[in-house]
Amino acid sequence: MRDPLDGAAVAAEARLWLGTPYRHQASLIGVGCDCLGLLRGVWRGLLGDEPEAPPPYSGTWAESAAPGTDPLTEAAARHLVPVAADLARYGPAPGEVLLFAFRAHLPAHHCAIATQAGMIHAHDRAAVTEVAFTPWWRRHLVGVFRFPGAG
């Protein structure tokens, strides 16, 4: 039986991906990943096989999602544990999965993993990096989750 995960272990697994170049739909440490690929890779590193394969998606998938749907949040709710949080006052807890929407009327479009110092994420035209959880990110936060077994 696997030991329960703690947030520090999740953040440490995510830090292994630092410097991995951005590659849309990829999920290979040191080779390339996007934000979802980072999350998928951390899942594999901590929990083993992924619970489902993501469908092909474009860089603008969130903007073209069917009205009333939120594919990233819906997938997170299927496989991760929701964290009740006052999003306006939220402070990152290491290991939590953060979802962001860049426009109020659109579904979540980006994800990151919280660390004590901020968050680790992959974004277009950059390598996986750890950044501060600034007020800009807080304004766009739309969901917080934990990996199964993480306390």
**What is the C-alpha R_g of the chain?**
14
Residue boundaries of the structural domains of the chain: 7-146
* pLDDT one-digit tens code per residue, 89-119: 888 899 999 999 988 888 999 999 999 989 9
Are 120 and 17 in contact by the 8 Å Cβ rule? The answer is: yes
* pLDDT one-digit tens code per residue, 64-83: 667 778 899 999 999 999 99
Q: Give the model's confidence band at 85: pLDDT under 50 very low, under 70 low, under 90 confident, else very high.
A: confident
- Distance between CA atoms of residues 26 and 122, nearest Å: 11
Q: Give the model's confidence band at 1: pLDDT under 50 very low, under 70 low, under 90 confident, else very high.
A: very low
Does residue 142 sit in helix, strand or coil?
Answer: strand
Are 41 and 32 in contact by the 8 Å Cβ rule? The answer is: no
Give the pairing type, strands 141-146 and 129-131.
unpaired
- Token pair, residue 139, equals 């304004």
Pick the CATH number of 7-146 from 3.10.580.10, 3.30.365.10, 3.90.1720.10, 3.30.70.260: 3.90.1720.10
- Strands (E) located in the chain: 27-28, 32-33, 81-82, 97-100, 110-114, 119-121, 129-131, 141-146
Would you state the pLDDT for residue 76? 96
Q: Give the model's confidence band at 5: pLDDT under 50 very low, under 70 low, under 90 confident, else very high.
A: confident
As a whole number, the mean pLDDT across the chain is 91
Are 145 and 84 in contact by the 8 Å Cβ rule? The answer is: no
H runs (alpha helix) in 1-134: 7-15, 35-47, 71-79
pLDDT at 63 over 70: no
Q: Give the model's confidence band at 4: pLDDT under 50 very low, under 70 low, under 90 confident, else very high.
A: low
Count Cβ atoms within 10 A of the Cβ of residue 130 and give its class: 0-12 exposed, 13-18 middle, 19 or more buried.
Answer: middle
